[in-house]
Amino acid sequence: MDLGHAGARAVVTGGGANIGRGIAHGFAREGARVLVVDVDAAQAEQVRAELVDLGAADARALTLDLTTDGAGAAVVAAALEAWGGVDVLVNNAGWSEPGWFAQQTDRALWQKTIEVNLFAAIDCTQAALGPMREAGRGAIVFLSSDSAFGAVRQGIYGSTKAGLIALARTVAREHGRHGIRSNVIAPGLVLPPDDAAVGASSVWAREDLFTPEQIDSVVRTQALRRPTTPDDIANAVLWVSSETAARQVTGQVVAVGGGSSMP
């Protein structure tokens, strides 16, 4: 099925690593124009070059800390300047520090988690809505998580990921009449497929993020006892953002984790 993404103007935040990189790759393979936004300049540029090789109609990189004032406007301005609009916004940038809720008492940690996961998505989405409303169409995808439904050692992080679901559904209800669809993909555990997928600011740069035992136990509790890959997430994002394949789908949460959660 032709998803209709050829030439589409897609923005992927946090596109420099792991899942965001996989999503950017997916759009490139569909012949879209892709803007990779990341705080890590080297990773953003590396992925941009990969997108060209994969067949993107155009590929650009924007180095930006999405937690700074005016970041969302700068992201959308870059797409408008390059291509005159945004067809797909993927709010993928994220950050997490796993830990027991009662022990995660550091307010700076709460602040960073909320800034990166929730405020950056609010900011980029608000900035994209104007041009999308003007165009009478657009797709916004939020990367949530299994943790949104409650998970040990993910209390602060999971709260932000649950917030994204409310945000996505509000956007869906308020802006559907303007042809804008807003959906959520909730990945299960997705390990980076190779070294090229991890830069210094990726959470996976930390070798102790999860122990092999923790990873093994996550996979064993999934209905499909096999790992989830960035391509699995990308395929779901490509589908849900397609005006052809998901024309009547909005406000939905699709969990892609081998049945780790079933929202």
Ligand X SMILES: NC(=O)c1ccc[n+]([C@@H]2O[C@H](COP(=O)([O-])OP(=O)(O)OC[C@H]3O[C@@H](n4cnc5c(N)ncnc54)[C@H](O)[C@@H]3O)[C@@H](O)[C@H]2O)c1
Q: Which residues are catalytic?
A: 157
Place of tokens 């970041």: 71
> No. of H helices and E strands in the chain?
8, 7
Closest C-alpha among 195, 225, 206 to residue 95? 206
> At its nearest, how many Å lie between ligand X and the CB of residue 52?
19
Residues near ligand X (CB under 6 A): 14, 16-20, 38-40, 43, 65-67, 92-96, 116, 143, 145, 187, 189-190, 199, 201-204
> At its nearest, how many Å lie between ligand X and the CB of residue 114?
12
> At its nearest, how many Å lie between ligand X and the CB of residue 201?
3
C-beta of 66 vs 129, nearer to ligand X: 66
Gap between the Cα atoms of 97 and 110, Å rounded: 10
> At its nearest, how many Å lie between ligand X and the CB of residue 198?
6
Q: Is the separation of the CB atoms in 219 and 188 below 8 Å?
A: no
Start-end of H helices in the chain: 18-29, 41-54, 71-83, 107-114, 120-135, 155-175, 212-221, 230-240
Q: Is 139 exposed, middle or buried (0-12, 13-18, 19+ CB in 10 A)?
A: buried
C-beta of 118 vs 139, nearer to ligand X: 118
Q: Is 211 exposed, middle or buried (0-12, 13-18, 19+ CB in 10 A)?
A: exposed
C-beta of 83 vs 210, nearer to ligand X: 210
Gap between the Cα atoms of 206 and 185, Å rounded: 24
Gap between the Cα atoms of 78 and 82, Å rounded: 6
C-beta of 101 vs 136, nearer to ligand X: 101
C-beta of 54 vs 74, nearer to ligand X: 74
CA dihedral 109, 115, 116, 121 (to 10 degrees): 150
> At its nearest, how many Å lie between ligand X and the CB of residue 65?
5
C-beta of 110 vs 243, nearer to ligand X: 110
Gap between the Cα atoms of 141 and 39, Å rounded: 20
> At its nearest, how many Å lie between ligand X and the CB of residue 214?
11
